[in-house]
Amino acid sequence: MKNIILLLLFSVCFSLVKAQTNYYPDANWQVKSAAEMKLNKAFLDSAVTFALTNENKMERDLRIANLKAYAREPEYKMLGPMKERGGPAGLILKNGYIVAQWGDIHRVDMTFSVTKSFLSTMAGLAIDEKLIRSVNDSVKNYVWDGTFEGNHNKKITWDHLLNQSSDWSGTLFGLHDWADRPPREGSIDDWKNRKLNEPGTVYEYNDVRVNLLAYSLLQVWRKPLPALLKEKIMDPIGASTTWRWYGYENSFSNVDGIMMQSVSGGGHSGGGIFISAIDQARFGLLFLRKGKWKNQQLLSEKWVHMAHQPSAAQSNYGYMWWLNTDRAGNSGKEWKEVSSDLYFAAGFGGNFIVIDEANDLVVVTRWMDNGSMGEFMNLVNQAQTK
């Protein structure tokens, strides 16, 4: 019994010491050399060179890129702001320190669906503050304006919205759920009248339903999500004041007599989060540290863990974070040569925030060629062996 008590005390003391010794950046982020961090400089330099020479081929005028990408969507339109993108940029953090960087890491760019990982964080904060009692609660019990009425929609839970398995049916801000990435077969009438999947059973990547989550969270918080993100996450982690989170020109809602914009969960129709690589790195480090920043638990460790658990409908997708795990029905891991324990935020055009807990790494890339990301991550992984 005495030995067990001593072991428990040792574990607690070790955890406290580790928490105190974790490095967190202030306004000036410390840079360490590969040698100081016991990394292989040749592989690290190769990773940086690879990132710079494997730029995504999408147009720098992102209006054109969007029009090409979503040309099959009926009545596609851009309702939110767009911005011409920059060139390749990014950072690699080891133990919290910057060990590599390239491009303009302070340039503010659209980040497309990386926004979704910020959005799910707002749901996590609502759970932590008990504004939402459980992810398994029906959303109609919180949003009663008719958005979740009907035999199908009334069964949708927060869990379904977060892992994109709701199959919500409807129109939001003039955008139809069925028009988002429609099937290659069938007609508009077929898409409109399709058989709906039972919520929780089938994963479907759909930005209208992601924006529905943002709208639902606005009804719960009763405050603009960008202001809450700034107050509860971005200011405490020392992010700059340059990032923005936009919705659409027609996505305003009357909340307590004040018109508030419901933000977008990506840049599909414009909007979403516009942010620098270095601010994304701070957000990534918060998740690497399991929601803790210095002496503050900004986001519960429980939520951070929940966010990157596989969902029943899609084994490599959690609460708007991707997992580097085997995917049912296809060829396996996203990045075959690196750990299955990685999880990451991903956005159109090669925007990534990668969390590697085993190696105490955060990797941020902007405008990387998507097909080259696995090889890039393999170089980063090889840099762990000196």
| The pLDDT of residue 327 | 63
Least confident of 217-226, 230-239, 296-305, 333-342: 333-342
Average pLDDT over all residues of the chain: 94
Nearest to 111 by CA among 270, 234, 317, 229: 270
**Contact call for residues 24 and 294 (beta carbons, < 8 A):** yes
| The pLDDT of residue 205 | 97
| The pLDDT of residue 20 | 54
Q: What domains sit in the chain, N to C, each tagged with a CATH number?
A: 29-386 (3.40.710.10)
**Which residue did the predictor score with more confidence, 331 or 30?**
30
Residue environment code for 89-122, b if the CB has 16+ CB neighbours within 10 A, otherwise e: bbbbbbbbbbbbbbbbbebbbbbbbbbbbbbbbb
pLDDT above 60 for 330: no
| The pLDDT of residue 63 | 98
| The pLDDT of residue 16 | 47
| The pLDDT of residue 328 | 54
The rounded percent of the chain whose pLDDT value lies above 70 is 93
pLDDT above 90 for 9: no
pLDDT tens per residue, range 228-273: 999 999 999 999 999 999 999 999 999 999 999 999 999 999 999 9
- Dihedral sign (CA 113, 290, 262, 196): positive
